[in-house]
Amino acid sequence: MTTKATRAVGVDIGGTGIKGALVDLAHGELLSDRVKVATPAGAEPGDVLDAVRQVLGTLGVSDADIPLGVAFPAIVKNGRTLSAANVADTWIGFEAEKFFEDGLGRDIHFANDADVAGVAEARYGAARDAAGLTILTTLGTGIGTAVLYNGHLIPNAELGHLQRANRKKDFEAWAAYSAVEREQLTWSKWARRLQSYYSYLEFLLSPDLFIVGGGVSKHADEFLPLLHLKTPIVPAVHRNNAGIIGAAALALDDER
Ligand code: BGC
C-alpha cells in the first residue's frame, strides 16, 4: 500500500494547458485522474494562479499537508522566472515561487517544466540508468529541453531557442508541435524540421540518448521512424505526464 510519505501533487503549467495530478513517487505513477484546464489567455500571473487553484480544488488537494511541485515554461532561477516565451512578459524577472506560495498559502517546489520532465524520465522512465548525456526535448507549444549527465540534471538549458542559421525564427518557432497545428504540416514535413533540429543538437553536444516528450509523443510512431540520427531517440515513457510526475518528485525531495 502507498503510504502518505510517498505521495505528492504535481502541477505542470504549459503555454496551452495547466495539468495536475496526485502522484505516487514510490512507482512514479499517477494516483488520481489528470485534471486539466486551459492556460488563461495572455497567461498573466494572477490568472495563472487562479487556474492552478482550480486544478488543486478539483483534485481535492488544496491543503498544505501534501507536498506540491509546480512546473513552469520559463527559465527558473532561485524562484524567479527569467524568461517568457509563451506566457506574459510580466513573468520576466518575477518572484514567481513566492507569488505562488503567497497565493496558495503554502510551500511549493518550483522549477522549469522540461527540467522536471527530465527528472521524471531519469527516475522512472526512458533515462533510467542512462549513462552519459541524455537530452530530453518536449515538443508542445514550445520546445523545452532538459540536459542530464549520468542522471544529474544541468538545469535551465534553453536549447529550443537555438537560432537557425540566417533565419529570423528560432528552432522552437519552426519545429515545436504548435508549428504543425498552425501550419497544418504533415508528419513527413514536420519530420524534416525535426531532423534539422536534432541533427544540430547532435552535432553540438554528442549526446548518448534523445528522449521526446510532450503530448505528441503518443504519436511517436508517426515521426520518430522518419528521423535519421546517430543517437538513439525514444519517446518519454511518461509522455505528457512526465512534467506532473517530475514536479511532484522534486516537491517530495524537499520534504525529506
Ligand atoms: C521556454 C522553456 C520551456 C519550453 C517548454 C520554451 O519556450 O523557453 O523554458 O521549457 O518552452 O514549455
CB neighbourhood size of 226 (10 A)? 13
> If pLDDT is split at 50, 70 and 90, which confidence band does 3 have?
low
CATH of the domain at 176: 3.30.420.40
Is residue 205, in this structure, part of any structural domain at all? yes
* Digit-coded pLDDT (tens) for 76-90: 999 999 999 999 999
Residue 159 lies in a domain: yes
81 lies in the same domain as 152: no
Neighbours of 170 (CB within 10 A): 19
Q: What dihedral angle (degrees, nearest 10) is formed by the CA atoms of 116, 117, 119, 122?
A: 180
Residue 118 falls inside a structural domain: no
* Radius of gyration (C-alpha) of the chain in whole angstroms: 17
Total domains in the chain come to: 2
Report pLDDT for 4: 60
| pLDDT tier at 5, thresholds 50, 70, 90 | confident
Model pLDDT for residues 11-51, shown as the tens digit of each residue: 999 999 999 999 999 999 999 999 999 999 999 999 999 99
Report the nearest-CA residue for atom 10 of ligand 1.
144
Residues 165-175: what's their mean pLDDT? 96
Retrieve residue 117's grid coordinates. Answer: 520532465
Identify whether residues 18 and 106 lie together within a single domain: yes
pLDDT of residue 60 exceeding 80, the answer is yes
Does residue 222 fall inside a structural domain?
A: yes
pLDDT at 63: 78
* Backbone φ/ψ region at 177: left (φ over 0), alpha (ψ -120 to 50), beta: alpha
Does residue 86 belong to any structural domain of this protein?
Answer: yes
Distance 144 CA to ligand 1 centre (A): 4
Please check whether residue 256 is in contact with residue 67, taking contact to mean a CB–CB distance below 8 angstroms.
no
Domain range for 29 is 4-113+247-255
Q: Can you tell me the distance from the alpha carbon of 103 to that of 101, in angstroms, rounded to the nearest whole number?
A: 5
Atom of ligand 1 nearest to the CA of 142: 11
Residue 202 lies in a domain: yes
Residues 172 and 91 grouped into a single domain? no
At residue 252, the pLDDT reads 96
Average the pLDDT over 172-191 and give the result.
98
In a domain, 61, yes or no: yes
Confidence bin at 65 (pLDDT 50/70/90): confident
User: Are residues 93 and 155 located together in one domain of the fold?
Assistant: no
The mean pLDDT of 112-126, rounded to a whole number, is 98
Q: Which residues contact 220 (CB under 8 A, 6 or more apart)?
A: 212, 234, 235
* CA of residue 112 to ligand 1 center, whole Å: 8
Asked whether residue 44 is assigned to any structural domain, the reply reads: yes
pLDDT tens-digit profile of 236-248? 999 999 999 999 9
208's grid cell: 548518448
Q: What is the pTM of this model?
A: 0.96
Cα-to-centroid distance, 141 and ligand 1 (Å)? 8
The percent of residues above 70 in pLDDT, for the chain, comes to 98
Q: Is the distance from the beta carbon of residue 74 to the nearest atom of ligand 1 less than 6 Å? A: yes
| Alpha carbon separation from 3 to 107, 179, 209 (Å, rounded) | 21, 43, 34
Measured between alpha carbons, how far is 70 from 111 in angstroms, rounded to an integer? 7
Cell numbers at residue 214, please? 510532450
Q: Edge to edge, what strands does the sheet with 133-139 contain?
A: 152-154, 143-149, 133-139, 209-213, 233-235
Q: Which residues contact 232 (CB under 8 A, 6 or more apart)?
A: 208, 209, 210
Residue 256: which pLDDT band, with cuts at 50, 70 and 90?
confident
Note whether 98 and 186 are same-domain residues: no
